[in-house]
Structure 1
Amino acid sequence: MKDSLLFTPYRLGNTTLRNRTIRSAAFESMGKDFGPTQQLKDYHVSVARGGIGMTTLAYAAVCRSGLSFNKQLWLRDEIVPALADITDAIHREGAAASIQIGHCGNMTHWSTAGCFPIGASTGFNLYSPTFVRGMRRDEIAETARCFGEAVRTAHRAGFDCVEVHAGHGYLISQFLSPYTNRRRDEYGGSLENRMRFMKVCLEEVMKAAAETGTAVLVKHNMEDGFKSGIQIPESIEIAKEIEKFGVDGIVLTSGFVSKAPMAVMRGRIPTKTMSYYMPWSSWPQKIVVNLFGQWMIKQYDFEECYFLENALKFRAELKCPLVYVGGLVSRAGIEKVLDAGFEMVQMARALVNDPAFVDKLKAGDETTRSGCDHRDYCMARMYSVDMQCCHNCREEIPEHLWKELRKIK
């Protein structure tokens, strides 16, 4: 095999990763009462044992108002000992540990956030569904401070890196996107104004990172995935602003959970399977998704390296390290991305299918490929139960769900 960067070390901030692979921050849905569980620990330790360079615990809210689900993490001192237990175990397996920090904004709920949902602008979020109040200036400043404090808390818990979630239609993304930002003050209107909240958050993050020696990645939307959202030319300008903060890397992604969810991960989501796992407490959504989901949710065909064409446009404009994520299922695909000038790669579904996938890549050759066939069963149950692959699910999958899954295949 030709010389490869894949299994060479990479210096990320003050941490040296043993290779160029990162378990991306796809939501595991393995928390409880806004804290970690043994299941969450076991999963990430298995990924670390399987050869990953760094594994990322997904979605930790920087404050209570940023929570959408009971199974999300709320990054606070109370859970530091349990998180430290996880990071210690990850480090013993030779991997680095990262945690994604963010705020759900208009996709929160009173029952989890403990307050009336807040976002960039006042309105109604059909995805949740819930009414939302636009944030006051004092709330904006306080939330930015919470981002900085989250970095300090992550450091106390033993994390080597934080990933700031500025994409996918969550709070920072809601300020950036003209689709969700209809403010008429200094935080809305022009691109410069819409970037203001992101910049105050990153100021706090980078200040805390300098104090603690924590590496910082930022997850950024190349495009929102629909006409009234952010498009690539504007997104490149945003990425250049992120670069100015001296971050350790930008993770290039796309898609808007409340408007174009499958633009994020691609594939044809099994909507009847999704409705099956939704709780009856959400019966209106359960029924609507079951009957009309296939028409409500725009479907995308899966193809390997599906973000690469767009990501190369950012590579040409930026000097900072870039992390590629999106449709990596084979050694050949990963090598293609690294050869194109990306410093690191992120994967999730391949590691849900097989936590030891990275070790298998190392032992194999360019024909080595993940057993994930992108039926997206893992996504269909992700928010309601937990993220598991249909090929190694711990419980029996009903035959009528397999019928739908086979059609997707």
Structure 2
Amino acid sequence: MSSASPSTHTSEAHPDIFSPVTLGPVKLRNRIIKAATSEGRSPEGLVTDDLIDFHLDFVRGGAGMTTVAYCCVSPEGASAPGQILMSEKALPGLKRLTDAIHAEGGAVSAQLGHAGLVASKKITGVTAMGPSRFFNPSSMEYCRAIKQEEIPTVIDQFGQAAKIAVEAGFDAVELHFGHNYLPSSFLSPLLNRRKDEYGGSIENRARLVREIAQRVREVVGNRVAVIAKISMDDGLPGGIWLTESIRTAQLLDQDRTLDAIELTQGSSIIRQMYLFRGDVPVSEFAAVVKEPMKTGVRLFGKLALGNFPYRDLYMLEAARQFVPVMKNTKLILLGGINNLDHMNTGMQEGFDLIAMGRGLLREPDLINRIQQDHSVSSRCTHCNKCMYTVYARTHCVLEPDSHYLPLDDSASSYAVPEEHKLSITPV
């Protein structure tokens, strides 16, 4: 089994954010990653020219690597309609996408996920599953407890999805171990009440993510970088919090199966704004659903989604706790990064790379402009109105002339069950 790249966490002068960085077998031209954000550009579950153009903008705009959001490892692992299933059928389109990114000098990662209890039977056709039976208030459905004999199948599905990513020419895979999707739900003492070796202590609850990471590393070897996205805390009372997520990261670091960990926060079950922070676009969500749900969203939307003020670098306080723990694995800082000062703060704190989402959604060329003029800062207002655009094609609503907007009615949306329209599934 190959080992991860040595960590760069030292007391020496921090690296230049625009300097190249080695991530496993991959050398990125800079230390800035376009974070995974729901795209809504694969209505048939396959790569489209629209999706390719979406990611080309980020690498042309200066990002060292872009991330294709939420590629399902299995049909029952979908969290929303139109997500790409990592399969032979998707392979030709995925190859077109990676070839296009490489032609522009950029790198590209595939985020691999299984929704678990976040999935809805209305979308997948089967009852969702989690570590234990649980009622998901977002989908208004119960999930069933996954059987122990089914767990090896899930592990193998991640391995097979990683194999497809290698064949497609991706530079990295990002294992989604956050936001209470299936692997993350095993880490949660609130969601995982199992009595077998996958429940109880954090060492037991971390068993699934460690086994997934090991299988993926065995499959990909040194051909691509392997990243894991992990929730430091999920914002749910009794759920994942720092004491145990630090231990999970430490165990993964000791396994030497990962090249980097991207630190995140939040849940896809409820209080989704804990990840996003800032304005809660309740009226916009209400506008895209029918009665009686429209009234319910207006009355209870803010309560369900949560209300958390935005501040710059809002994940840093929690994320800095992980820096001393990592001995073999690089760390990626996410959350409220808008300008060069924020990026440099991340480097000074001991992070190896930074990831940006909404700021690049607003301005795909932001990195190039910051490199040319160090005083430039993102124009993102954190209004979060981009959140409800995932029901069609994700875009910044403050860019009315952007080609992110639908070109015609046929490209604007695909069918989304009404019951699913308040189920925001952050990636």
TM-score, normalised via structure 1 length? 0.91
- Say which of 349, 358, 372 aligns to 2:358: 349
- Say which of 318, 328, 332 aligns to 2:341: 332
The Cα offsets for residues 160-185 of structure 1, whole Å up to 9 and x where unpaired, read as 00000001111001111011112222
Cα distance between partner residues in 2 of 1:141 and 1:275 = 41
- Say which of 69, 92, 96 aligns to 1:58: 69
Q: 1:64 and 1:3, CA in 2 relative to 1: closer, same or farther beyond 3 A?
A: closer
- Say which of 312, 325, 337 aligns to 2:320: 312
Cα distance between partner residues in 1 of 2:123 and 2:138 = 16
Q: 1:156 and 1:137, CA in 2 relative to 1: closer, same or farther beyond 3 A?
A: same
Q: Which amino acid aligns with 1:231?
A: W
Q: Does 1:217 align with 2:224?
A: no
Q: Does 1:388 align with 2:395?
A: yes
Q: Does 1:113 align with 2:106?
A: no
Q: Does 1:378 align with 2:389?
A: no
Cα drift, residue 55 of structure 1: 0.2
SS in 1 for 2:268: coil
Contact in 2 for aligned 1:326/1:347 (Cα 8 Å): yes
What corresponds to 1:405 in structure 2? none
Q: Return 5+ residue gaps in structure 1 as ranges.
A: 397-409
Cα drift, residue 297 of structure 1: 2.3
Q: Which amino acid aligns with 1:348?
A: G
Q: Which amino acid aligns with 2:196?
A: D
Cα distance between partner residues in 1 of 2:236 and 2:185 = 14
Higher relative contact order (CA 8 A, sep 6+): 2
SS in 2 for 1:216: strand
Alignment of 1:262-301 (within 5 A): 262-278=273-289, 280=290, 284-301=292-309
Identity %: 34
- Say which of 246, 250, 273 aligns to 1:240: 250
Q: How many residues of Structure 1 are paired with residues of Structure 2 in the alignment?
A: 389
Q: Which amino acid aligns with 2:245?
A: S
Alignment of 1:30-41 (within 5 A): 30-41=41-52
Contact in 1 for aligned 2:232/2:246 (Cα 8 Å): yes
Cα distance between partner residues in 2 of 1:193 and 1:286 = 42
Q: 1:333 and 1:100, CA in 2 relative to 1: closer, same or farther beyond 3 A?
A: same
Cα drift, residue 201 of structure 1: 1.1
- Say which of 63, 73, 78 aligns to 2:84: 73
SS in 2 for 1:377: coil
Q: Which amino acid aligns with 2:351?
A: F
Contact in 2 for aligned 1:61/1:74 (Cα 8 Å): yes
Of 166-175 and 130-139, deviating more is: 130-139
Q: Which amino acid aligns with 1:39?
A: D
- Say which of 228, 231, 242 aligns to 2:241: 231
Cα drift, residue 25 of structure 1: 1.0
- Say which of 18, 37, 41 aligns to 1:26: 37
Q: 1:296 and 1:111, CA in 2 relative to 1: closer, same or farther beyond 3 A?
A: closer
Cα distance between partner residues in 2 of 1:385 and 1:21 = 27
Q: Which amino acid aligns with 1:163?
A: E
Q: 1:227 and 1:126, CA in 2 relative to 1: closer, same or farther beyond 3 A?
A: closer
Structural RMSD (CA): 1.7
Of 302-311 and 180-189, deviating more is: 180-189
Q: 1:3 and 1:161, CA in 2 relative to 1: closer, same or farther beyond 3 A?
A: closer
Cα distance between partner residues in 2 of 1:353 and 1:270 = 17
Of 67-76 and 289-298, deviating more is: 289-298
SS in 1 for 2:325: coil
Q: Does 1:190 align with 2:198?
A: no
TM-score, normalised via structure 2 length? 0.88
Runs of 4+ in structure 1 off by over 3 angstroms are 283-287
Q: Which amino acid aligns with 1:224?
A: D
